[in-house]
């Protein structure tokens, strides 16, 4: 498996740390894991991509889908983006920031989700 997920929960915010590749081979199982990381009374979800090496178009689509589904549940999505790498370039080009908060660290992302 080229991707690994570690789920955590911090003060009404689900946190999912992804390592490795976020690609088409991982997306179906990853979608379910990420959606299960938030509880109905949570403020939202943080997806930590700071240790991700690669994200393909299907992984990008998953981030947009998560933002839409969480918004429908009145929750927020924040994504921790690694500095100056392939993942950061891709997420900037597709303007993920238009639907999700982008942060450089998990603490800032959790605080951003909690504060709205």
Q: How confident is the model at residue 26, as a pLDDT?
A: 79
Q: How confident is the model at residue 61, as a pLDDT?
A: 96
Q: Is the pLDDT score of 79 beyond 80?
A: yes
Can you list the domains of the chain with their CATH numbers? 3-115 (3.30.750.24)
pLDDT one-digit tens code per residue, 1-49: 345 889 999 989 999 999 988 988 878 889 999 988 999 999 999 999 9
Q: How confident is the model at residue 6, as a pLDDT?
A: 92
Considering the entire predicted model, what is its pTM? 0.93
Query: First-to-last CA distance in the chain?
Result: 34
Q: How confident is the model at residue 2, as a pLDDT?
A: 45
CA geometry: angle 112, 114, 21, nearest 5 deg? 60
């Amino acid at each position: 498996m080229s991707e690994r997920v570690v789920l955590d929960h911090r003060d009404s915010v689900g946190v999912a740390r992804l390592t490795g590749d976020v690609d088409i081979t991982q997306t179906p199982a990853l979608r379910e894991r990420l959606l299960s990381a938030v509880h109905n009374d949570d403020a939202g979800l943080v997806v930590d991509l700071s240790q991700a090496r690669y994200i393909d178009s299907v992984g990008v689509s998953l981030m947009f889908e998560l933002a839409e589904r969480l918004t429908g549940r009145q929750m927020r999505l924040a994504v921790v983006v690694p500095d100056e790498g392939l993942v950061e370039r891709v997420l900037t080009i597709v303007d993920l920031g238009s639907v999700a908060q982008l942060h450089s660290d998990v603490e800032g992302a959790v605080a951003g989700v909690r504060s709205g």
